[in-house]
Structure 1
Amino acid sequence: MFVVTAPTGNIGSQVVQNLLDRDVPVRVVARDPSRLPGSTRTKVDVVTGSHSDPAVIDEACAGAEGVFWLVPPQHQVTDLLRYYLDFTRPAAGAFVKHGVARVVGVSALGRGTPWERDAGHVTAVLAMDDLIAATGVPYRALANPSFMENTLAQLPSITGAGVISSPEAPDRRMPICATADIAAVATRLLLDDGWTGHGEVPVLGPEDLSGDDRARIISEVLGLPVRYRQTPADEFEATLRSHGMSEEVARNMRQMMLAKDAGLDNGVVRTPEFSTPTTFREWCEKALYRFQ
Structure 2
Amino acid sequence: MTTDDIAVTTPTGRVGSRVVRLLLQAGVRPRVLVRDPGRLDGATREGVDVRRGDLTDAAFVREATAGARTVFWVDPTPHTSPDPVETSARTASGLVDAVRAGDVERVVLLSSVGAELRRGAGHIDGLARIEEALDAAGADAVHLRCAYFFTNLLQDLDGLARGELTTAFAPDAPMPWADPRDIGDVAAARLLNGAWRGRTVQAVHGPEDLSFARVAEVLTEVLGRRVRTAAVRDDDVRAALGAAGLHPTAVEGIVGMAAGTRDLVPEQPRDVVTTTPTTLAAWAWTTLRPLVGAAAG
TM-score (norm 2): 0.91
Instruction: State the Cα deviation string for residues 11-65 of structure 1 (Å, max 9, x = none).
Output: 1111111111111121111111111112211111111111232332233223312
Q: Which moved more, 1:54-63 or 1:183-192?
A: 54-63
Q: In the alignment, is residue 13 of structure 1 matched against residue 14 of structure 2?
A: no
Structure-to-structure mapping, 1:248-287, within 5 angstroms: 248-261=249-262, 263-264=263-264, 266-287=266-287
Q: In the alignment, is residue 180 of structure 1 matched against residue 181 of structure 2?
A: yes
Gaps of 5+ in 2: none
- The Cα shift of 1:282 comes to 1.0
Q: In the alignment, is residue 122 of structure 1 matched against residue 109 of structure 2?
A: no
Counterpart-to-counterpart distance in 1, 2:57 and 2:102: 16
- Which residue pairs with 1:89 in the alignment? 93
- Which residue pairs with 2:194 in the alignment? 193
- The Cα shift of 1:255 comes to 1.3
Q: Root-mean-square deviation (CA), in Å?
A: 1.7
> Which AA in structure 1 matches 2:146?
N
Q: In the alignment, is residue 63 of structure 1 matched against residue 67 of structure 2?
A: yes
* 8 Å CA contact 1:171, 1:212 repeated in 2: yes
> Which AA in structure 2 matches 1:208?
D
Counterpart-to-counterpart distance in 1, 2:21 and 2:71: 15
- Which residue pairs with 2:134 in the alignment? 132
Give 3-state SS (helix, strand or coil) of 2:50's partner.
strand
Q: Give the one of 151, 154, 165 matched to 1:152.
A: 154
- Which residue pairs with 2:207 in the alignment? 206
> Which AA in structure 2 matches 1:278?
T
Counterpart-to-counterpart distance in 2, 1:209 and 1:64: 38
* 8 Å CA contact 1:109, 1:265 repeated in 2: no
Q: In the alignment, is residue 107 of structure 1 matched against residue 111 of structure 2?
A: yes
* 8 Å CA contact 2:96, 2:137 repeated in 1: yes
Seen in structure 2, the aligned counterparts of structure 1 residues 69 and 112 have a Cα distance that, compared at 3 Å, is closer
> Which AA in structure 2 matches 1:164?
L
Give 3-state SS (helix, strand or coil) of 1:24's partner.
coil
Seen in structure 2, the aligned counterparts of structure 1 residues 112 and 74 have a Cα distance that, compared at 3 Å, is closer
Counterpart-to-counterpart distance in 2, 1:186 and 1:29: 16
- Which residue pairs with 1:169 in the alignment? 170
Q: Give the one of 32, 39, 55 matched to 2:36.
A: 32
Give 3-state SS (helix, strand or coil) of 1:260's partner.
coil
Q: Runs ≥4 in structure 1, deviation > 6 angstroms?
A: none
Counterpart-to-counterpart distance in 1, 2:113 and 2:79: 21
Counterpart-to-counterpart distance in 2, 1:108 and 1:71: 11
- Which residue pairs with 2:50 in the alignment? 46
Counterpart-to-counterpart distance in 2, 1:143 and 1:287: 24
Counterpart-to-counterpart distance in 1, 2:289 and 2:39: 25
Q: In the alignment, is residue 142 of structure 1 matched against residue 173 of structure 2?
A: no
Give 3-state SS (helix, strand or coil) of 1:42's partner.
helix
- The Cα shift of 1:265 comes to 5.1
* 8 Å CA contact 1:166, 1:230 repeated in 2: yes
- The Cα shift of 1:10 comes to 1.1
* 8 Å CA contact 2:116, 2:128 repeated in 1: no
Instruction: State the Cα deviation string for residues 94-139 of structure 1 (Å, max 9, x = none).
Output: 13335423210111112555xx421111222111110011111111
- Which residue pairs with 2:6 in the alignment? 2
* 8 Å CA contact 2:115, 2:121 repeated in 1: no
> Which AA in structure 2 matches 1:34?
G
Paired positions, count: 288
Counterpart-to-counterpart distance in 2, 1:13 and 1:245: 29
